Amino acid sequence: MNPEYNFAFLDEGSKREIRRSILKAVAVPGYQVPFGSRELPIGRGWGTGGIQLTLSLIGPRDVLKVIDQGSDDSVNAVNIKKFINLCSDVATTTDSTEATLIQTRHRIPEEPLRNDQLLVFQVPLPEPLRVIEPSEEATKLMHAEADYTGIWLQLYESIMKYGKVTIATEYPVTVEDRYVMNPSPIPKYDNPRLHESECLYLFGAGREKKIYAIPPHTKVVSLAFDDVPFEIEHMEGRRCRLCGAENVYFDELIDRETGAVSYQCSDTGYCSKRRLRKEADC
Amino acid sequence: MINKEEAVLQVRDLLLRYGNGCECCRSRQPMEKNRCPRCGTVWAVRNVSFDVYPGEVLGIVGESGSGKSSVMKSLYFDHEVTGGSAFLKQYQDGKVNVFGASSQQRRYIKNHLMGMVYQNPLLGLRMDYSSAANVAEKIIAAGNRNVAFMDGRTVELLEAVEILTSRRAEPPRNFSGGMQQRVQISKALANNPGLLLLDEVTTGLDLSVQAKVLDLIRKIRSRYNISIILVSHDLAVIRMLADRTMVMLDGQVVESGLTDQILEDPQHAYTQQLVHSLL
C-alpha cells in the first residue's frame, strides 16, 4: 500500500458523505440519491460510481472481487482491482463465494449471493426515464408523481412494432411498487436475481452523481403488461464449451473460419471453479 | 317548474395575466388592446365566465390574440391561471375548483375527464411513435396495462376517425395534416372523456379536408354525446358546429348567445364587423 494516500484513497470526509447517501438509498429502495461525486485517477464514466461505493465501504478484512461483463480478467476489471488493492491492501479473489464485496459491470454472478456480501454495480445512466425526457427537473417530478406513462408507452410501442418487448439490457424494474429503476446494463436474464435477494445491491453512477440501492428481501418486478409477461433470454440447449455448464448466461463465440457457434460461461469465476472441481474429481 | 340541466363545466372569472398589473390597469382604465400602457402587463384573459352543458358545442370566436386559446390552455392546465375557478361535474361532483387541484389530480383530470386537440399536432402527438401508441398513451396513463385491450381500443378509435387500421403502426410523421388532426382526435377520445377541447382544429387544412374533420366532429358528438368547446377564428366553422357562441376581444367576452342569434343579429360593434367580413 502506498503510504502517501489515505486508506482506500478517498479522505474520510468524502467516505462519510458517500456512506450517508448509501444509507438514504437503502432507506428508499430504487430512489436515486444525488451525491458529490469525487475526482478519481480514472475518467468519469469508467466505473467511478462503483469505485467510490467500494472505496467508501471497504475495510482491511474485506475480500474483493471485480468483474466486467462477468469476466475477472478484462482490462477494466483488472485495473480497478489493482487500483483498490494499491490503496487498501485488501485481499482479492475470483471466487464469488469467497468475496465479501463484489464490484461489477453489467452482470450478476451466477452463484447466489449471501446476506454477508455486497454487490456494487457500475451504472452509466441511472435515470430510466432519460430516454423519454431529457430534463432532470422533469424526470424528478415524474418520479415524485409516479408518472411512468412514457416508459410503459415505450414497451407498448415495441410490442406494436415487433410483437414483443425488445429491450435486452437495462430492462426497467419497479421497486417495492414505487420507483421505476434502471438495473444498470445487466442482461434481463439477471433481472429476476434482484427480486427478494439475500444480499444488498448498491448502484453507483459517478458521472451522473447518483447512488441507489436494493436492500435484501425487496420486491423487484420487471415491467410487463398483464397479457404479455416478462421473459428472459432462452439459454436452453446451450452448453459451456469449457466447463459444460447449462442454464447459465453465455457469451456467444463464432468461429471466423468455419462459422461454427459455441458458447462459454459469461461468469469466468464460476466457469474456472467448475473446471478445477472437475480436474480434482478425475 | 323547469328542470334545469346541470352544467358539465362551470367557469367563473377566469383570469390570466402576464405581469403584476398596476393601479392603472386594475381600475380598468383603457388599455392598448389587452396590454396596460403604463406597466406593460398583458391581460390575456379578463374575468371570463361561462357554462358548458351536456352534449352541446360551445364555440369561442375571436381574432388572434383575443385570448380564446388561452382559455383552452388554462382549462387544460397548460397555463397556470392568475385567478378564477372552474368546476367539472365529473370531478368531485363539481364542488371543487379544478385550478386548485394538485398536479397529480390534474393529470387524472386530463387523462380521464377531458380530451384536448391542439391546432398544432406537434403539441398533441409524439411524431416518432406509431399512431396506435399515440392513442394508447392515454389509455396507459389511465392505468390500463392490457395490450389486447389497448390494441382493440386503438383500432376502434382510429376506425372512428377513418384512419386505415393497416396504417396504425405508422408514426403520425408519415401522415398528412388532416390525418394527424384525426389521430389527435382519436387520442383525445381514448378514455371517453365528458368534455372535448378543440383548439382551431381545422385551421391550416385545405377545404375538403376541413369539411371531413368537421363532419367527423359532428359524428363524434352525436355518437358519444360528448360536450365540446370549440375555438376558432373562422365563423363558418362556428356556424356549422356550435350551438352557442362566445365572442372574445382583448381577453374579454364581448357577446354571447345562440350561434344563429349572434350571426343574424350581432349586437357588439366587433361582432358586427366580424359577421360582415364573412364572405
What CATH number did the domain enclosing A54 receive? Answer: 3.40.50.11310
Q: Is A271 a catalytic site residue?
A: yes
Over residues A193-209, the mean pLDDT reads 97
Which residues of chain B make contact with A177, given a CB cutoff of 8 A?
none
How many CB atoms lie under 10 A from the CB of residue A161?
Answer: 14
R_g (Cα) of chain B, nearest Å: 19
Q: Are residues A270 and A178 in the same domain?
A: no
Residue B279 grid coordinates? 364572405
For residue A258, give Cα distances in angstroms to A244, A253, A254, B210. Answer: 22, 12, 8, 63
Q: Are residues A133 and A260 in the same domain?
A: no
Percent of chain B with pLDDT over 90: 71
Residue A7 in domain: no
For residue B76, give Cα distances in angstroms to A165, B71, B137, B181, B198. Answer: 33, 9, 17, 18, 11
Cα A77 to Cα B179: distance, rounded to the nearest angstrom: 54
How many beta-carbon pairs below 8 A join chains A and B?
42
pLDDT at B30: 80
Percent of chain B with pLDDT over 70: 98
Residue ending a domain, choose from A176, A192, A222: A222
Q: Is A199 a catalytic site residue?
A: no
Q: Are residues A131 and A40 in the same domain?
A: yes
| CB-based burial, B234-266: b 16+ in 10 Å, e otherwise | ebebbbbbbbbbbbbbbbbbbbbbebeebbeeb
Residue A111 grid coordinates? 452463484
Residue A4 in domain: no
CB-based contact (8 Å) between A166 and chain B? no
Q: Are residues A29 and A158 in the same domain?
A: yes
Verify whether the Cβ–Cβ distance A157 to B133 is below 8 Å: yes
pLDDT at A77: 95
Angle at A72 between CA A69 and CA A78, to 5 degrees: 105
The A101-105 sheet, strands edge to edge:
A33-34, A210-214, A200-205, A118-122, A101-105, A63-68, A91-92
Residue ending a domain, choose from A195, A222, A249: A222
Cα A30 to Cα B6: distance, rounded to the nearest angstrom: 46
Residue B3 has pLDDT above 70, yes or no: no
Q: Which residues are A211's β-sheet partners?
A: A33, A204
Cα B279 to Cα B260: distance, rounded to the nearest angstrom: 16
Mean pLDDT, chain B, whole residue set: 91
Which residues of chain B make contact with A159, given a CB cutoff of 8 A?
147
Judge if ipTM > 0.95. Answer: no
pLDDT at B1: 47
How confident is residue B4, by pLDDT bands cut at 50, 70 and 90? low
**How confident is the model over A122-156, as pLDDT tens digits?**
999 999 999 999 999 999 999 999 999 999 999 99
Verify whether the Cβ–Cβ distance B147 to A225 is below 8 Å: yes
Three-state secondary structure call for residue A173: strand
Verify whether the Cβ–Cβ distance A225 to B146 is below 8 Å: yes
Please answer whether residues B274 and B247 qualify as being in contact, where contact means their C-beta atoms are separated by less than 8 angstroms.
Answer: yes
Which residues of chain A make contact with B143, given a CB cutoff of 8 A?
none
Please answer whether residues B42 and B19 qualify as being in contact, where contact means their C-beta atoms are separated by less than 8 angstroms.
Answer: yes
Please answer whether residues B180 and B101 qualify as being in contact, where contact means their C-beta atoms are separated by less than 8 angstroms.
Answer: no
State CA B121 to chain mean position distance.
14
Q: Is A240 a catalytic site residue?
A: yes
State CA A97 to chain mean position distance.
17
HEC states along chain B?
CCCCCCCCEEEEEEEEEECCCCHHHHCCCCCECCECCCCCCEEEEEEEEEEECCCCEEEEEECCCCCHHHHHHHHCCCCCCCEEEEEECCCHHHCCCHHHCCHHHHHHHHHHHEEEECCCHHHHCCCCCCHHHHHHHHHHHCCCCCHHHHHHHHHHHHHHCCCCHHHCCCCHHHCCHHHHHHHHHHHHCCCCCCEEEEECCCCCCCHHHHHHHHHHHHHHHHHHCCEEEEEECCHHHHHHHCCEEEEEECCEEEEEEEHHHHHHCCCCHHHHHHHHCCC
Residue A2 in domain: no
How many CB atoms lie under 10 A from the CB of residue B80?
Answer: 8
> What φ, ψ does residue A228 adopt, rounded to 5°?
-130, 90
Cα B270 to Cα B266: distance, rounded to the nearest angstrom: 9
Q: Are residues A239 and A211 in the same domain?
A: no
Q: Are residues A58 and A161 in the same domain?
A: yes
Cα A83 to Cα A78: distance, rounded to the nearest angstrom: 9
Which residues of chain A make contact with B140, given a CB cutoff of 8 A?
149, 152-153, 156
Selecting from B129, B145, B148 the residue whose C-beta is nearest the C-beta of A157 gives B129
Over residues A83-103, the mean pLDDT reads 95
For residue B48, give Cα distances in angstroms to A129, A280, B25, B231, B253. Answer: 39, 88, 17, 15, 6
**How confident is the model over A31-72, as pLDDT tens digits?**
999 999 999 998 888 899 999 999 999 999 999 999 999 999
Residue A203 in domain: yes
Residue B126 has pLDDT above 50, yes or no: yes
Verify whether the Cβ–Cβ distance A145 to B107 is below 8 Å: yes
Q: Are residues A215 and A241 in the same domain?
A: no
How confident is residue B279, by pLDDT bands cut at 50, 70 and 90? low
Verify whether the Cβ–Cβ distance B148 to A227 is below 8 Å: yes
CB-based contact (8 Å) between A149 and chain B? yes
**How confident is the model over A232-266, as pLDDT tens digits?**
999 999 999 999 999 999 999 999 999 999 999 99
The parent domain of residue A238 ranges over 234-282
Q: Are residues A150 and A29 in the same domain?
A: yes
Residue A183 grid coordinates? 438495473
Please answer whether residues B200 and B217 qualify as being in contact, where contact means their C-beta atoms are separated by less than 8 angstroms.
Answer: no
Percent of chain A with pLDDT over 70: 100
Q: Which one-letter amino acid corresponds to residue A100? A: T
Residue B28 has pLDDT above 90, yes or no: no
Spell out which chain B residues touch chain A, with contact meaning CB-CB distance below 8 angstroms.
103-104, 107, 126, 129-130, 132-133, 136-137, 140-141, 145-148, 150, 169
Cα A171 to Cα A173: distance, rounded to the nearest angstrom: 7
Please answer whether residues A265 and A245 qualify as being in contact, where contact means their C-beta atoms are separated by less than 8 angstroms.
Answer: yes
Q: Are residues A80 and A128 in the same domain?
A: yes
Interface test with A, best of B127, B147, B167 (most A CBs within 10 A): B147
Residue A101 grid coordinates? 464485496
Mean pLDDT, chain A, whole residue set: 95
How many domains is chain A partitioned into structurally?
2
Cα A90 to Cα A111: distance, rounded to the nearest angstrom: 22
Residue of B nearest to A145 (CA): B104
Q: Are residues A172 and A238 in the same domain?
A: no
Three-state secondary structure call for residue A26: helix
Residue A198 in domain: yes
Please answer whether residues A155 and A226 qualify as being in contact, where contact means their C-beta atoms are separated by less than 8 angstroms.
Answer: no
Q: Is A265 a catalytic site residue?
A: yes
Cα B75 to Cα B62: distance, rounded to the nearest angstrom: 18
State CA A256 to chain mean position distance.
31
R_g (Cα) of chain A, nearest Å: 19
How many CB atoms lie under 10 A from the CB of residue A62?
Answer: 18
User: In the block, which residue shows the cell 344563429?
Assistant: B260
State CA B164 to chain mean position distance.
26
Residue B47 grid coordinates? 374575468
Cα B126 to Cα B59: distance, rounded to the nearest angstrom: 28
Q: Å from B151 to nearest chain A CA?
A: 9
Residue A187 in domain: yes
Interface test with B, best of A131, A149, A165, A222 (most B CBs within 10 A): A149
Residue ending a domain, choose from A222, A247, A274: A222
Over residues A188-202, the mean pLDDT reads 97
Q: Are residues A79 and A195 in the same domain?
A: yes
How confident is residue B225, by pLDDT bands cut at 50, 70 and 90? confident
Residue A71 in domain: yes
Please answer whether residues A109 and A67 qualify as being in contact, where contact means their C-beta atoms are separated by less than 8 angstroms.
Answer: yes
Selected catalytic residue, list A49, A70, A87, A265: A265
Q: Are residues A23 and A108 in the same domain?
A: yes
Q: Å from A144 to nearest chain B CA?
A: 10
Residue A5 in domain: no
DSSP per-residue string spanning A152-165: HHHHHHHHHHHSS-
User: In the block, which residue shows the cell 403520425?
Assistant: B172
